[in-house]
Amino acid sequence: MVATATVLAVIAGIGATTAFQAPASAKGRTFIRLNAEHKTSVARNPNFAKLQGGYLFPEIGRRRAAYLKENPDTGGQPIISLGIGDTTMPIPEHILSGLASSVTKLGNKDTYTGYGDGNGEAALREKIAKELYGNRISPNEVFVSDGAKCDIARLQLMLGAQVVTAVQDPSYPVYVDTAVMMGQTGEVDPATSQFNNIVYMPCNPANGWFPDLASLPHADVIHFCSPNNPTGACATREQLTQLVEHALAKGSIIIFDAAYAPFIRTEGTPKSIYEIPGAEKCAIEVNSFSKYAGFTGVRLGWTIVPDGLTYADGSKVRDDYNRVMSTAFNGASNIVQGGGMACLDPEGLAEIQALISYYLENAQILKQCAEDCGFEVHGGENAPYVFVDLKGASSWDMFSKILSEAQVVTIPGAGFGPGGEGFLRLSAFASRANCIEASARLVKLFKKN
């Protein structure tokens, strides 16, 4: 029974007493009268207090909900989201059949499986190594998982609190937030909005979205994402060669996020860091079926940790990651791994190409729209994100203006780090009809002003 100001917790058979509460017994049970403001005596992990606000995407959702609450008729038209990079197209037939047949196997005693290989089914690791890396890496170096975001966090768990991390600025917020949670950073500096002890690598139109590596302080771990979220920039072979040479020279480890690799259509542009000689000595790659095949809700990713990648003491990074995965993970779902196998069949690979083409065409529509509105525009080629240059205007103000005047959800660049301020991200993960409708609304809004 819950009273207005107090909660009664039932602890069967334990005559618990505490310094602050008197027990009252009834029918052989002991009740502790808890104050509604009851606090545990556990100290909060101080790293969590350093984090800035909420995680970006829930914050966008919160502002959208607040707008809806105040404007239930939303200006007479539905809200369109070009915000969070979440896939919208259904999973294609062949890939879906891989998921479905894995479900069926679970209902038959001859094909039922329980816990599997914690690093992923051997057949899937072999197929990833062959189809996506041309056997440049071995199946032994592939760790199948529930997605790239979770892998980024597990890599931080492995690296610990003592490393200095570098990130592209702007970047996917998970690299910085997990570094903060892990205790790698100091407080945020209010003057710069940057965390102490993180190396921010400025990426902007002036440097072609690629940092001047030589001018940066030393970092043990360099997070690098290409094609990039949020800028849509796609690093060239020359740029990635510079990155690998820099890491080899400084003894750093690169964590290369290739979650958008299949969007690369320009001939000769690397889709994996392992296309660059020497990367197997200095780079880990995280990747995911989320954007390849509409698996954002299905959850399947992988991380490559090369056998030749070592720490200063000569021990293998792979062995520690194996330890993390076997302790803090228990293998990706067997249903989902069946879907992953189907993704890498010739039919599945063709379906992925068709899905990506659809989103790339959307990106072209959004890019054209932003140009028609009079903005300078980046990305949108080899990437699902269009990054609109607001020429110094506040990105949260622009987010609010577009939401309230055109009922379109975008993402303010400031959510991706201080270097994203003054830019707005548009996501091509939407239906064609919504991209066309949102473009018409935006052109109307900006032509009017």
Can you give the binding site for ligand PLP, defined by CB under 6 A? 85, 147-149, 172, 225, 229, 257, 259, 288, 290, 296, 301
Place of tokens 């199948």: 144
Q: Minimum distance from CB of 311 to ligand PLP (Å)? A: 24
Q: Minimum distance from CB of 178 to ligand PLP (Å)? A: 11
Q: Minimum distance from CB of 376 to ligand PLP (Å)? A: 23
Angle between helices 432-448 and 395-406 (to 10 degrees): 100
- CB-nearer residue toward ligand PLP: 31 or 358: 358
- CB-nearer residue toward ligand PLP: 202 or 227: 227
Pairing outcome for strands 80-81 and 408-409:
parallel
- Closest by CA to 388, choosing from 404, 372, 400, is 372
- CB-nearer residue toward ligand PLP: 146 or 351: 146
Burial status of residue 417 (CB atoms within 10 A of its CB: 0-12, 13-18, 19 or more): buried
Q: CA-to-CA distance for 200 and 216, rounded, in angstroms?
A: 8
Q: Minimum distance from CB of 321 to ligand PLP (Å)? A: 17
Q: Minimum distance from CB of 18 to ligand PLP (Å)? A: 42
Answer yes or no: are the C-beta atoms of 261 and 227 closer than 8 Å. Answer: yes
- CB-nearer residue toward ligand PLP: 148 or 176: 148
- CB-nearer residue toward ligand PLP: 127 or 149: 149
Q: Minimum distance from CB of 372 to ligand PLP (Å)? A: 27
- CB-nearer residue toward ligand PLP: 296 or 434: 296
Determine the longest span between alpha carbons in the chain, in angstroms: 77
- Helix, strand, coil tally for the chain in percent (to 5): 40, 20, 40
Side-chain half-sphere exposure of 275, counting CA atoms within 13 A: 16
Q: Minimum distance from CB of 57 to ligand PLP (Å)? A: 9
**Strand, coil or helix: what is 154?**
helix
**What are the tokens at 144?**
């199948």
- CB-nearer residue toward ligand PLP: 259 or 386: 259
Q: Minimum distance from CB of 292 to ligand PLP (Å)? A: 10
Q: CA-to-CA distance for 75 and 71, rounded, in angstroms?
A: 7
Angle between helices 317-328 and 148-159 (to 10 degrees): 120
- CB-nearer residue toward ligand PLP: 148 or 201: 148
Q: CA-to-CA distance for 403 and 393, rounded, in angstroms?
A: 16
Q: Which DSSP symbol is given to 129? A: I
- CB-nearer residue toward ligand PLP: 229 or 395: 229
Task: Determine phi and psi for 125, rounding to 5 degrees.
Answer: -65, -40
Burial status of residue 443 (CB atoms within 10 A of its CB: 0-12, 13-18, 19 or more): middle
Answer yes or no: are the C-beta atoms of 118 and 330 closer than 8 Å. Answer: yes
Q: Minimum distance from CB of 414 to ligand PLP (Å)? A: 17
**Strand, coil or helix: what is 341?**
helix
